[in-house]
Chains A and B, each alone.
Chain A
Amino acid sequence: MSIFVDKGTKLVVQGITGRDGSFHTKQMLAYGTTVVAGVTPGKGGQRFESTVPIFNTVAEAVEATGADASVIYVPAKFAADAVFEAADSGVRLVVCISEGVPVLDMTRVMRYLQEKNVRLVGPNCPGLISPGQAKVGIIPGRICAAGPVGVVSRSGTLTYEVVYQLTRAGIGQTTCVGIGGDPIIGTNFIDCLAAFQADPATKAIVMIGEIGGTDEQNAAAYVKEKVRKPVVGFIAGQTAPPGRRMGHAGAIISGSSGTAAEKIAAFEDAGVTVMKRPADVVPLVKERL
């Protein structure tokens, strides 16, 4: 089992002929993901790698192939419209990999999505992978293995680090979700915690947060109230100075809020076991499985 994507996911790739889109579509195909269509306006009728049909619009792709999920690799300035287009096409899941999407664009996107029955993951995220079933996005397949742990994270390469440590120790994952490092994102920790709690195959959850905002604090409150599976957490940015954006647009301590200390305290209060360093993930998860 898994959350959000599995063997049955039929994926359409928006921006399939672009530099990033074509590279990662090959990787997703090699992993075994069912990529049923690609979209690049003006290239409708062609085929990607002489197999995947390309369409001019997402609506046409969905109509012709029955795609139920989309992944977006378009430049940041076109990303908001790509999400609108995907939401209008009837897919149930949209994963936006694009980095650098203006936050005011996202305020419009999120209001629009409220009226649609669709989940957005991202933007500025590595996507998700259900090992052995499907990968949607850019998480390297070879660092993952199928198993009982659900992983959710705001980061990209830090997620890889933690997942790789688990895999090397023989601990596999149900699904790894990178929710993205921007201030406004479609899927937050709570959405993933709820899905992992409901997924019978997930026996433990790893939650990797960072400084900035209150998503981790809200997640901690949710764990306390609703999650009955063991949760192990990490917060990056304990040494970050206030008022400086640490790479991710969302990773900024403003005033006294959003600090690592505040988030770690919230985790501990909720019974989330806190890792002091990424390598702690292995013993802490092992003990709880």
Chain B
Amino acid sequence: MNLHEYQARELLRRAGIPVPPGEVATTPAAAKAVAERLGTGKVVIKAQVHAGGRGKAGGVKLADTPEQVADIAAKILGMKIKGLTVEKVLVAPAAQIVSEAYVGVIVDRESQSPVMMVSPAGGIDIEEVAAKTPEKIFRARVDARYGLLPHQAMALAFHLYTDLALVRQASDILQKLYRAFVDAGGSLAEINPLVVTPENEVVALDAKLVVDDNELERRPDIEALRDVSAENPFEAQAREANLTYIKLDGNVGCVVNGAGLAMATMDLVKYYGGEPANFLDIGGSSNPEKVVTALRIITADPNVKAILFNIFGGITRCDDVANGIVAATQQFTVRVPIVIRLTGTNEEAAVRILEGIGMKAGTDMDEAVMRAVAVAKGGAAA
């Protein structure tokens, strides 16, 4: 789960990291009021959306007066950045910057450890730095049992600054960032840029925090930060039903059990000349209700011209899936043809259930995919 910048800033502030003041606003008038509270001087208005490249998209602007803040906020609020509508802006004083650095921590798959990274080349996309000037990134592998050790933090800080006062401040920030990362159940935490002010203070100007979805069950305080309005509504609906749904641009709707098989099914749709409309994994357990929700979500996508079920029954029982399809057709009109492939646990019962409502089911994956692609193209009946 992604947190908004203003939420991440608040978590870092609570961890003791120096973060400039600033508040979030949802209307131009509220943004103006924040600017008035902040007092004199330049302020920055930043779109709060789960997308990178906000600056380039025009979602980050400077203003000199509260009136200007209101005007700019009016332009940014409602703006679309990478398909996401901006619902909130952060209003903060524009810091005076002597230098910009990058600091971050990720869970590294290769070393199976958290890795703390710093770079004196801050303020820009760190992936770009990694690609173009990898020698400007410094890393420390963390033993997760002990956390980031003070000497590791100090060594990293010496790669950023030479002035000992700055090194000590940065080292302290790195240790606090690591703790905030662990406390939030993060898979990534970044401060970019970490800046030095004319007063020789090191402060976090921006903050990014991505939380491991598997941590949310035991961290209700973090789960409460979820901004449903910033998500695709169907993906949110799927998540509540314990389904994984990702919308794509094609016209063959896919309902599959298991993530690997779901990806392989999408690939096979493409292999036979079609385009998948979505990734959808109904998961391991087979509650007929899940199938109903899955069909509701897929039929709401106007691009979908055919729906393909690909079920390999193990823990998932084919008869449960069949009952779900029957229940869905009783609850609402499924306006597109359904092609069903199922095999495995309780396959025979499933076939009987489907025959009861005049539907057929095959057992071969390739045949089903080919038929679904043909149906979506309008060339065949289901």
The residues of A that contact B185 with a CB separation of less than 8 Å are 102, 104
0/1 string, A105-126, CB within 8 A of B gives 1: 0111011100000000000001
User: Smallest distance from the beta carbon of B327 to chain A beta carbons, Å?
Assistant: 23
A179 to B182 Cα, complex, angstroms: 26
A245 to B235 Cα, complex, angstroms: 12
Contact A240 B260 (CB under 8 A): no
Contact A276 B271 (CB under 8 A): yes
A160 CB contact (under 8 Å) in B182, B276, B312: B312
Contact B212 A102 (CB under 8 A): yes
Q: Which listed segment binds A: B32-40, B108-116, B329-337?
A: B108-116
The residues of A that contact B260 with a CB separation of less than 8 Å are 153-159, 181, 208, 210, 236, 247-248, 251
A214 to B111 Cα, complex, angstroms: 12
Count of interface residues, chain A, beta-carbon cutoff 8 Å? 59
B109 CB contact (under 8 Å) in A126, A139, A184: A184
Q: B143 interface residue, CB < 8 Å from A?
A: yes
Contact A107 B144 (CB under 8 A): yes
Contact A240 B266 (CB under 8 A): yes
User: Smallest distance from the beta carbon of B266 to chain A beta carbons, Å?
Assistant: 5
A140 CB contact (under 8 Å) in B248, B257, B314: B314
Q: Among residues 181 to 201 in chain B, which have CB atoms less than 8 Å away from a CB atom of chain A?
A: 182, 185-187
Q: A100 interface residue, CB < 8 Å from B?
A: yes
Known A-B contacts A140-B344, A246-B262, A247-B262; the reply to A236 vs B267 at CB < 8 A is yes
A106 CB contact (under 8 Å) in B112, B217, B258: B112
0/1 string, B274-314, CB within 8 A of A gives 1: 00100101001000000000000000000000000000101
User: Smallest distance from the beta carbon of B108 to chain A beta carbons, Å?
Assistant: 9
Q: A81 interface residue, CB < 8 Å from B?
A: no
- Write the chain B residue with the least CB distance to A123: B214
A154 to B264 Cα, complex, angstroms: 12
Known: A111-B113, A126-B314, A238-B270. 18 other contacts (CB 8 A): A76-B214, A77-B218, A102-B215, A104-B144, A104-B185, A108-B145, A111-B144, A111-B145, A138-B315, A155-B261, A156-B260, A156-B314, A157-B258, A210-B259, A236-B261, A247-B279, A277-B264, A277-B268
A168 to B271 Cα, complex, angstroms: 23
The residues of A that contact B279 with a CB separation of less than 8 Å are 240, 244, 246-247
Contact B366 A240 (CB under 8 A): no
A236 to B213 Cα, complex, angstroms: 22
A103 CB contact (under 8 Å) in B212, B261, B345: B212
Where the two chains meet, the residues of A that have a C-beta atom closer than 8 Å to any C-beta of B are: 76-77, 99-104, 106-108, 110-112, 126, 138-140, 143, 153-161, 164, 181, 183-184, 208, 210-211, 213-215, 234, 236-241, 244-251, 255, 260, 276-279
A140 to B315 Cα, complex, angstroms: 9
Closest 5 CB pairs of A and B: A155-B260, A247-B259, A157-B258, A158-B260, A107-B144
A214 to B315 Cα, complex, angstroms: 29
A155 CB contact (under 8 Å) in B107, B127, B244, B259: B259
Contact A107 B344 (CB under 8 A): no
B112 CB contact (under 8 Å) in A153, A159, A184, A278: A184
User: Smallest distance from the beta carbon of A191 to chain B beta carbons, Å?
Assistant: 13
Q: B263 interface residue, CB < 8 Å from A?
A: yes
A104 CB contact (under 8 Å) in B114, B127, B315: B114
Name the residue in A107, A184, A247 with the highest tally of chain B Cβ atoms < 10 Å from its Cβ: A247
Would you give 18 A-B contacts (Cβ < 8 Å), ordered by A?
A104-B107, A104-B212, A106-B112, A111-B112, A140-B344, A143-B344, A155-B259, A157-B257, A157-B314, A160-B261, A184-B112, A237-B266, A237-B267, A239-B263, A239-B270, A245-B213, A247-B260, A248-B259
A140 to B145 Cα, complex, angstroms: 37
Q: B129 interface residue, CB < 8 Å from A?
A: no
Name the residue in B144, B246, B260 with the highest tally of chain A Cβ atoms < 10 Å from its Cβ: B260
A257 to B281 Cα, complex, angstroms: 24
Known A-B contacts A111-B145, A246-B279, A279-B366; the reply to A160 vs B344 at CB < 8 A is yes
A251 CB contact (under 8 Å) in B112, B263, B267: B263
A41 to B239 Cα, complex, angstroms: 32
B263 CB contact (under 8 Å) in A104, A126, A246: A246
A164 to B344 Cα, complex, angstroms: 10
Q: B365 interface residue, CB < 8 Å from A?
A: yes
The residues of B that contact A112 with a CB separation of less than 8 Å are 145
The residues of B that contact A234 with a CB separation of less than 8 Å are 264
The residues of B that contact A111 with a CB separation of less than 8 Å are 112-113, 143-145
Q: Among residues 110 to 129 in chain B, which have CB atoms less than 8 Å away from a CB atom of chain A?
A: 110, 112-114, 127
A10 to B86 Cα, complex, angstroms: 58
Q: Among residues 63 to 118 in chain B, which have CB atoms less than 8 Å away from a CB atom of chain A?
A: 107, 109-110, 112-114
The residues of B that contact A140 with a CB separation of less than 8 Å are 314, 344-345
A249 CB contact (under 8 Å) in B213, B218, B343: B213
Contact A102 B312 (CB under 8 A): no
The residues of A that contact B218 with a CB separation of less than 8 Å are 77, 102
A278 to B364 Cα, complex, angstroms: 11
A255 to B143 Cα, complex, angstroms: 26
User: Smallest distance from the beta carbon of A247 to chain B beta carbons, Å?
Assistant: 3
Contact A161 B345 (CB under 8 A): no
